[in-house]
Amino acid sequence: MAGRDSEGKRDGKAPVGTSPVEWAAAAAGAVLLVATIAYLVHYGLTKPEGPPVIRVVVETVEPAGEGYRVGFTATNEGNGTAAELSIRGVLRAGGAEIEASTARIDFLPQESSRSGGLFFRRDPRALTLDLRAEGYVEP
Amino acid sequence: MAASRGRERDGGGVATLRIPSSTEFFVGAGRAFAGALLFSLPMLMTMEFWQLGFTIDPFRLALLLAIGVPLLVRLSRYGGIRHTVRLQDDVADVFVSLLIAFVTAGLLLWLFGEVAPGRPLREVWGKVAVQAFPAAIGAMLALNQFGQGDTDADADADRGEIETRYGGELFLMVVGALFLSLNLAPTDEVAVLAFTMSVWQEIGLLVLTLLLMHAFVHAVEFGGTHRRVAGESVLGLFARSTLAGYAAVFLVSVYVLWTFGRTDGVALHEVISMAIVLSFPGAVGAAFARLIL
């Protein structure tokens, strides 16, 4: 019994104080928590929730399989997340729509970028390529 | 009380408590890490939590973290990284738990590729911060789950003293409910269930929740803490303990749903439906809180 008791004490059953190492770790935790709360409140105050603003940029156009792949990067410059964002690319010749492809991005958070690709049968370099964000829903 | 006085004498009085060695601290921190991992893994591996990192209202997340501190300080008396009797030691334990929670969540999310350099700060910090509070609860429970010393009657008597108070009982229920609701509230399943269940099914779930809560706490005597005040009827006990407990669980459910933005733009009756659905796991968590804690 006595043996078990002293073991129990070593194990932290008996109340103990706080060592300098623990105080240092506690201080680090406190700083982290306060910084997190401050950051969140600051973010909420300076960047109130707004609509997403999507910019789509064509990165690459290259042959892929039987057709061509247009690599793009969509960037959300607004202050709201876009969910189920669809990116639509249209190939035109003299105003007439020849071919269209759509890609969907599940979530595009504020200030974030996501990349993807659209496939076409015809060579987009020989035609006019029109790439834009088509629509989204709020998450 | 005699037990705790005895222990204070062993340690040389409250003012001069034994200062644990660095090794002891790291052993405790290791346990806390294990606890944080065990309790936050279901959340770390759920997609909805990653999305919450950037979709959650920053004010509501900040509020959750701020409310978390006093709650964890109180919880430290029941669990914690080590056995504490002074408030300042509880506070130290809480902030160490939070540090471990942040590190655990950050490390795993980084390994999973969910946070990475180059991602916006808001997304990275948000994803980690959403996990911090539940993971810190896990870290606080480490002593009870993995420690060996606390199972004997001596320590239990000490804790039982706090536990027997009505307020303490409700507090433990709230923590238990909070823990399970935090796990489940962000998932789409809660909303889907609320939308598809009929009113009668929901009433059935509510009745089942109440019966289970009463049975777990008082009839089956999990945790052995059931007690009826002399002369109190079963109905009185049901109202004092189970109904009050359910009300607390229900409010916790509504609060957690609101924190995660699940109530925004949703009709009142659907909010109530979601709260009933979420209160089911919440009530089970509340009933078992005494057993776990």
Token representation of residue A124: 């987009």
Give A 22-61 residues with CB within 8 A of chain B.
22-23, 25-30, 32-33, 36-37, 39-41, 43-44, 49
User: For residues B14 and B8, what is the distance between their CA atoms, to the nearest angstrom?
Assistant: 6
b/e for B191-228, b at 16 or more Cβ within 10 A? bebbeebeeeebeebbeebbebbbebbbeeeebeeeee
Find where tokens 């709230």 sit.
Answer: B174
Determine the 3-state secondary structure of A135 from DSSP: strand
Higher pLDDT, B37 or B14: B37
| Residue A43 with chain B: CB contacts under 8 Å | 58, 122
Q: Per residue in B81-92, pLDDT tens?
A: 777 778 888 899
- Long-range pairs of B261-268 with CB within 8 A, sequence gap ≥ 24: B261/B55, B261/B56, B261/B57, B261/B60, B262/B185, B262/B186, B262/B190, B262/B191
Q: Per residue in A70-90, pLDDT tens?
A: 999 999 998 888 999 999 999
Q: Are B175 and B293 in contact (CB under 8 A)?
A: yes
pLDDT at position B6: 39
Higher pLDDT, B160 or B94: B94
Q: Which residues contact A87 (CB under 8 A, 6 or more apart)?
A: A56, A72, A74, A102, A103, A104, A105, A116, A118, A131, A132, A133, A134
pLDDT at position B291: 66
Please check whether residue A13 touches B, CB under 8 A. yes
Q: Is B206 left (phi over 0), alpha (psi -120 to 50) or beta?
A: alpha
> Quick check: B67 pLDDT over 50?
yes
Q: How many CB atoms lie within 10 A of CB A57?
A: 12
Mean pLDDT to the nearest integer, B267-276 = 95
Please check whether residue B11 touches A, CB under 8 A. yes
Q: How confident is the model at residue B76 (pLDDT cuts 50, 70, 90)?
A: confident
pLDDT at position B222: 53
**B57, A49: Cβ pair inside 8 Å?**
yes
From residue B219, alpha-carbon distances to B162, B209, B253, B284 in Å are 22, 14, 25, 14
Higher pLDDT, B109 or B225: B109
Mean pLDDT to the nearest integer, B127-151 = 77
Where do the structural domains in chain A lie, given as residue ranges?
2-46, 54-137
Q: Per residue in B239-270, pLDDT tens?
A: 878 899 999 999 999 999 999 999 998 999 99
Closest Cα partner for A138 from B123, B114, B55, B189? B55
User: For residues A67 and A122, what is the distance between their CA atoms, to the nearest angstrom?
Assistant: 6
| Residue A109 with chain B: CB contacts under 8 Å | 54-55, 120, 122-123
| Residue A50 with chain B: CB contacts under 8 Å | none
Q: Minimal Cα–Cα distance from B272 to chain A, Å?
A: 21
Q: Is A120 left (phi over 0), alpha (psi -120 to 50) or beta?
A: beta
pLDDT at position B221: 57
Q: Are B222 and B288 in contact (CB under 8 A)?
A: yes
| Residue B93 with chain A: CB contacts under 8 Å | 22, 26
The partner residue sitting opposite A81, judged by closest CB among B10, B28, B54, is B54
Mean pLDDT to the nearest integer, B143-165 = 50
DSSP letters for B48-113: HHHHHHHHS-HHHHHHHHHHHHHHHHHHHTTSSSS---SHHHHHHHHHHHHHHHHHHHHHHHHHTT
Give B 53-112 residues with CB within 8 A of chain A.
54-55, 57-59, 61-62, 65-66, 69, 81-86, 88-89, 91-100, 102
Q: Which contiguous run of DSSP H or E holds residue A107?
A: strand A96-108
Q: Minimal Cα–Cα distance from A73 to chain B, Å?
A: 14
Q: Which residues contact A58 (CB under 8 A, 6 or more apart)?
A: A70, A71, A72, A129, A131
| φ and ψ of A93, to 5 deg | -135, 110
Token representation of residue B88: 């300042």
The partner residue sitting opposite B143, judged by closest CB among A12, A14, A30, is A12
- Give CA angle at B123 (B118, B124), nearest 5°: 65
Mean pLDDT to the nearest integer, B64-72 = 94
Size of interface A-B (CB pairs under 8 A): 161
Q: Which residues contact B5 (CB under 8 A, 6 or more apart)?
A: none
Best to test chain A binding among B16, B21, B55, B93 (most A CBs inside 10 Å): B55
Report the complex ipTM: 0.79
Give the residues of chain A that fall short of pLDDT 70: 1-13
Percent of chain B with pLDDT over 70: 81
Q: How confident is the model at residue B147 (pLDDT cuts 50, 70, 90)?
A: low
Distance of CA B232 to the CA centre of its chain: 30
pLDDT at position B148: 46
| Residue A19 with chain B: CB contacts under 8 Å | 19-22, 24-25
CATH superfamily of A54-137: Lipoprotein YajI-like (2.60.40.1620)
Alpha helices in B164-230 (DSSP H): 166-184, 188-196, 199-214
Mean pLDDT to the nearest integer, B116-131 = 90
The partner residue sitting opposite A12, judged by closest CB among B62, B83, B102, is B83
| Residue B69 with chain A: CB contacts under 8 Å | 33
Best to test chain A binding among B16, B17, B21, B54 (most A CBs inside 10 Å): B54
